Structure 1
Amino acid sequence: MAIIKNGVNGTVSGKAGSVVFVSTKTGNYVRSLPRVKKREPTPEQLLSRTRFKTMRSHISMLNPIITIGYKAYSYPKRAYDVAMSYNLNHALIQEENGFVVDWQKFMIAKGSPNPITSYTMDFDQENQVFLVTWEYDPYLEKKFDMGTYDSFLFLYNATYNGAEYPFLTNEAKNSLITGRQNIDIPKHKKQVTYEVYIFFVESYGGGNTDSMHLGNIKI
């Protein structure tokens, strides 16, 4: 922005459009702004952008869940930022054409250790119910006092592509010591592969466990 000093007959200083006004002891001058040459990004910069974009596409989609799963772990930082940082460093695999997510290492929640020691998954197609049952480590359950934590079962369609249901979770929540949790699955127009995760959340806010990847299921 150019500024006129001392009214319309005064000197002009500053920038206006593609020129800049300069005041010196010998007078006032108008100069063209220097042209800034746009540099092409280096291969390393392009690789870094691709890496960041790959992870951001998933973290942004999952932000409502990330906010719950990283709430205690990330404080006082934003859950989104901490989830991005963690998964960028732990859950990406570089391939010839870019990056892919390692869903087994991808974490939608961080907290105390997940106590599950074994589990089963079953999908009842007739009743459209997906069921997970588990056994847990009683030592961890007592150490972190998580017996009454609510189960958070989460199915994520990682290939989304405008699908009807990018993710699904349970409305009614059972506790860790119940050893089972189900989700009512709406009927899909076409088959979808979901990555399956589970973690446990303190009923009245506060702590939660790490998420655990249970595998994937086609529905």
Structure 2
Amino acid sequence: MAKFINGANGTFSGKVGSVIGASWRGIHYLRGLSKKTKIPPTEAQVAQRLRFALVTKFLSPLLGILAVGFRNVRRLTAAQFSMAVKRNIEQAVIGAAPDFELDFSAITLSEGGLYIPLTSALEVAEGSITLSWDPAPNQFGGASNDVAYIVVYNAERQLFITTETPATRANGSAVVDVPAPFAGQQGHAWMFFASHDGKKVSATVYLGEITFQ
């Protein structure tokens, strides 16, 4: 059912017959209903849909992180998420249909030229993961107050965790608290840096596979 906006002489939103009224950023427009087709999808189309579903499911909990990591794409979260999906379909999906998998070492959560420390390390202990990096900024880019965004993924439970509060480049390390039920399960970790004002972002660094303790 359609509804009028600003009275009977105004625009409308919703379905009327074969058209749909909608608006975007204050611009009202009409679009036709999509046409159903009986033509079965090709093998390539099916494969692409499987890749899309796999990557979308993985990235969906990370909208806030991706809004920072892909900020240089556009200021719209939907566009940033779409670009993240595109990049990871291109770079991080391996295998053959219908058994596609993610190459976790190739996951991309950010794009940019902000300086990444040349050395980083990950130490796993009971109930925690400590990540460390060279805190020194580079003369060509990077600042001591750059924010470190850390993402840890439990592959068996398909859950993400991160630091309680963001660390800075100058801190040189950060601790992620690990829930007790994670013990003995496998995971992966990534990080990237963003400038304090969010205008500059680094590429993503894969920190390795983890056995939680």
TM-score norm. by structure 1 comes to 0.70
Instruction: State the alpha-carbon separation in 1 of the partners of residues 37 and 179 from structure 2.
Output: 54
Count of residue pairs the alignment pairs up: 176
- SS of 1:109's equivalent in the other structure is coil
Alpha-carbon distance in 1 for matches of 2:121, 2:75: 36
Q: State the shift of 1:60 in Å.
A: 1.6
- Distance in 1, matches of 2:128 and 2:55, equals 30
2:74 aligned residue: 75
Partner of 1:132: 131
**SS state at 1:74 partner:** coil
1:38 is aligned to: 38
> What are the equivalent positions in structure 2 for 1:141-152 lying under 5 Å apart?
141-152=138-149
Q: Describe the SS at the equivalent of 1:111.
A: coil
Please give the per-residue CA displacement for 1:159-180, whole angstroms capped at 9, x wherever unaligned: 435xxxx111112333213321
Partner in structure 2 of residue 93 of structure 1: 94
| Residues in 1 aligned to 2:152 and 2:44: alpha-carbon distance in whole angstroms | 34
* Counterpart selection for 1:210 from 203, 207, 210: 203
- Structure-2 residue corresponding to 1:60: 60
Evaluate the alpha carbon distance shift between residue 100 and residue 115 of structure 1 in structure 2; reply closer, same or farther with a 3 A threshold.
same
Overall identity of the aligned pairs, in %: 20
Matching residue's letter, 1:102: D
Match of 1:23 in 2: none
TM-score by length of 2: 0.72
For residues 159 and 108 of structure 1, do their structure 2 counterparts lie closer, same or farther at Cα, with a shift above 3 Å needed? farther
The change in CA–CA distance for 1:124 and 1:133 in structure 2 (over 3 A counts) is same
Q: 1:191-210 counterparts in 2 under 5 A? A: 191-210=184-203
What is the root-mean-square deviation of aligned Cα atoms in Å?
2.5
Show structure 2 runs of 5+ residues with no match.
1-16, 18-35
Bigger-Rg structure (1/2):
1
- Residue 22 (structure 1) aligns with: none
Runs of 4+ more than 6 Å apart: none
